Amino acid sequence: MSELEDIKRDLIFGHVMEKRENCRQLLKLIFPEKRFERIRVTPQKPINQLLKERKEGEI
- pLDDT (0 to 100) of residue 33: 95
Residue 52 pLDDT > 60, yes or no? yes
Dist CA 55 CA 52 (whole Å): 5
- pLDDT (0 to 100) of residue 31: 93
pLDDT digits (tens, 9 = 90+) for 2-25: 555 565 677 777 777 888 888 888
pLDDT digits (tens, 9 = 90+) for 29-49: 889 999 988 888 887 766 666
- pLDDT (0 to 100) of residue 7: 58
Q: Are 39 and 20 in contact (CB under 8 A)?
A: yes
The C-alpha angle with vertex 35 and arms to 24 and 13, in degrees rounded to 5, equals 20
